[in-house]
């Protein structure tokens, strides 16, 4: 199984690339964590943000593996604990199909993307910069894996 993180925006600072690479390397061979940056639309004075968001959504949809379980990261999505995320990860592993996690641009995901998603997940009601979202997402997916695998990394219940 692969966890495909498909995110709008391609140029990330070195610290983000390093953190994402670190957590991705910790994942086991049967649960690969792969990040892919997709081009953001050109924003400027007078830009049609609705059109840009739709176009970015179309790029996310086109990059998504066929038959993947789709998770939309959305501030209005479900906020879950690490343990609940671990249960979801365990279910995805049992199904054996790829998972695509969509991270939209500055305006979020298009309505078409939200409608296509199997699950809407909110990392927090707080707003994070896109580079920070990638690091949090990588760490939380690794943390969920550590719970599933019984590793001592997560000590949330102590």
Dump strand ranges (E) for 9-157. Answer: 32-38, 69-78, 99-103, 119-121
Q: Give residue 1's Cα distance to chain centre.
A: 15
Q: Residue 3 forms beta bridges with which residues?
A: 33, 99
Q: How far apart are CA 74 and CA 78, in angstroms?
A: 8
Distances (CA, A) of 95 to 29, 34, 68, 113: 16, 18, 11, 22
Q: Name the band, by pLDDT with cuts 50, 70 and 90, for residue 69.
A: very high
- Determine the pLDDT at residue 156: 65
Q: Is the pTM of this model over 0.75?
A: yes
């Amino acid at each position: 199984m692969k966890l495909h993180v498909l995110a709008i925006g391609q140029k990330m600072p070195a610290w983000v690339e390093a953190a994402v690479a670190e957590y991705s390397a910790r994942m086991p061979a049967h649960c690969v964590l792969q990040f892919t940056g997709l081009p953001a639309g050109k924003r400027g004075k007078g830009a049609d943000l609705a059109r840009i968001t739709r176009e970015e959504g179309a790029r996310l949809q086109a990059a998504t593996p066929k038959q993947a379980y789709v998770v939309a990261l959305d501030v209005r999505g479900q906020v879950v604990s690490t343990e609940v995320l671990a249960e979801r990860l365990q279910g995805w592993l049992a199904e054996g199909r790829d998972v695509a996690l969509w991270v939209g641009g500055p305006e979020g995901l298009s309505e078409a993307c939200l409608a296509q998603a199997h699950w809407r997940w909110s990392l927090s009601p707080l707003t994070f910069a896109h580079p920070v979202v990638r690091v949090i997402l990588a760490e939380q997916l690794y943390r969920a894996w550590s719970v599933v695998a019984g590793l001592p990394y997560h000590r949330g219940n102590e």
